[in-house]
Structure 1
Amino acid sequence: MQLTSFTDYGLRALIYLAALPKDRMTSISEVTQIYGVSRNHMVKIINQLSRAGYVDAVRGKNGGIRLGKPAESIRIGDVVRALEPLQLVNCSGEFCHITPACRLRQVLAQGVQHFLQELDNHTLAEMVDANPPLYQLLQVE
């Protein structure tokens, strides 16, 4: 299974936000520059993460973005569910003629379920804890 770039950069953005000092907000432009992704793409990602409650977006002169929840409470599996279209195959009757007799959809669904269960065992905090140089590696110059 391969995650979309949307989910990939969403997870990376959250890791960056979690690695920031607790009192520091950042901007979408900074995250965009760090990862070399288009600003338009990152705006959509941050918007989705904000709607899901993972990012707090503050408007205005002193605004910016920061984690919307403690990193310890953000499960990686939940983030993937919020960002990733998890339908692996198109099993509609008009697209696939063997749908009534096919067991592939069930097997793939079980695989996705196991994949997400494993991701649920890990939090965003685990991605940055005991990793002090992470923020320094990602700093914008």
Structure 2
Amino acid sequence: MQLTSFTDYGLRALIYMASLPAGKMTSITEVTETYGVSRNHMVKIINQLSRLGYIAAVRGKNGGIRLGKPAEEIIVGQVVRDMEPLQLVNCDQCSITPACRLKIALSKAIQHFLQELDNYTLADLVEDNHPLYTLLLIDSPVRNGR
């Protein structure tokens, strides 16, 4: 299974923000430059993550983006469910659909995939991950109780 780039970069944006010191604002420009992705694409991703409550967007002179809730409360499996169109095959026009067992097998595979991702929070991906901080050019964050 391969995630869409929309979900992939959504997770990467969340990882970036979770790696920052608690409550620190960043910008879409910083995130796009970090990952070398199109600003246009990232704006759409950030907008969706904001609508879902994963990111808080603040407008104005001192505005920016930051996590909308603590990293410990952001479950990776739920982010994928919210961002990803999880239909692996299109059975609409297939002549064997009434007898097909593949769709059942794929459905179970997706369920197990998501169940495994449900074991991880965003905090699990970033806490004490010093190689990540180095790659993101971030000083080791002070979590302030997070």
The normalised TM-score by structure 2 is 0.90
Where 1:86 maps in the other structure, the secondary structure is coil
Give the equivalent residue in structure 2 for 1:102: 100
The C-alpha deviation readout for 1:32-74, integer Å capped at 9, x for no partner, is: 0000000000001111111111000111111100000100011
Where does the alignment leave 5 or more consecutive residues of structure 2 unmatched? 139-146
**1:133: Cα distance to partner?**
4.5
Where 2:94 maps in the other structure, the secondary structure is coil
What amino acid is aligned across from residue 88 of structure 1 in structure 2? L
Q: Extract structure 1 runs of 4+ deviating beyond 3 A.
A: none
C-alpha distance in structure 2 between counterparts of 1:66 and 1:48, whole Å: 14
What amino acid is aligned across from residue 11 of structure 2 in structure 1? L
Give 1:43-62 correspondences, 5 Å limit.
43-62=43-62
Give the equivalent residue in structure 2 for 1:78: 78
C-alpha distance in structure 1 between counterparts of 2:115 and 2:105, whole Å: 15
Give the equivalent residue in structure 1 for 2:142: none
Give the equivalent residue in structure 2 for 1:123: 121
C-alpha distance in structure 1 between counterparts of 2:23 and 2:68, whole Å: 13
Give the equivalent residue in structure 2 for 1:24: 24
**1:138: Cα distance to partner?**
1.0
Equivalent pairs, count: 138
**1:21: Cα distance to partner?**
1.1
Where does the alignment leave 5 or more consecutive residues of structure 1 unmatched? none
**Given that residues 23 and 66 in structure 2 are in contact (C-alpha distance below 8 angstroms), is that contact kept between their aligned partners in structure 1?**
no
- Aligned residues: percent identity? 74
Give the equivalent residue in structure 2 for 1:35: 35
Give the equivalent residue in structure 1 for 2:136: 138
- What is the RMSD computed on CA atoms of the aligned residues? 1.2
